[in-house]
Amino acid sequence: MASLLSIESSPRGEYSISRKLTSAFVEEWQKTHAGGTVVNRDLFTTTLPFVDLPWIAGAYTPAEQHSPEMKKALEIGNTLIAELKAADHIVLGTSMYNFSTPAILKAYIDQIVRVNVTFTPQYEGLVKGKKLTIILASGGVYTPGSPTEGYNAESSYLKQVFGFIGITDVNIVLAGGTGAVSMGQRSLEDFVAEFTPAVLEAAK
């Protein structure tokens, strides 16, 4: 049975473009994967602590030697990693903050990138055989070949970090130009409709 992990990282709720596009992706995926299971992970309703000393110590200490503090520090990461490993396809909805990744998404990534769990000491990824679709909404337009392409540090970072843990089948849907919606120059519905076909195609 196919399984999908849907990760949301926008704080804007019903006004979020990435959430609307991710929702369309999930709906289409369910149509083309009858009987498949969907796990939803909303990063803004998840307590995601930053990596701290107990986390670092726990990551480099055998599990049987973990202190209570180490176990607590690694607990949420264990849950997130289990979700990731159980999925066949992952869809990640995100926005772009100052040309890069929102802090909440970076905190998630720091929890799932862990030696001996998602990569080996020899830097071999352990989360293999997955597909990842990233839906990236940004205020500016950073399409490949455009004069502003170089400002998009997020796409390359996400491909690199997920590839590092073994997820190399990555498709990024760039939904650039959300600034026009924020400024009232385009309606939210019109903007979402423009990028929905690419999202639906990625869900097949």
Residues annotated in a binding site for FMN: 10, 16-18, 96-99
Coil vs helix vs strand at 97 = strand
Element (H, E) at 91: strand 89-95
- Name residues whose C-beta falls within 8 Å of residue 84's C-beta, 6 or more positions apart in sequence: 5, 90, 112, 118, 127, 130
Structure tokens at 179: 């600034």
Q: Hunting for tokens 């990596």 — which residue is that?
A: 51
Coil vs helix vs strand at 11 = coil
Quickly list H helices, the chain. 17-32, 53-59, 68-86, 103-112, 153-164, 179-182, 188-202
Give the sign of the dihedral formed by CA 106, CA 111, CA 113, CA 114: positive
Amino acid at 54: P
Binding residues: 10, 16-18, 96-99
Quickly list H helices, 33-177. 53-59, 68-86, 103-112, 153-164
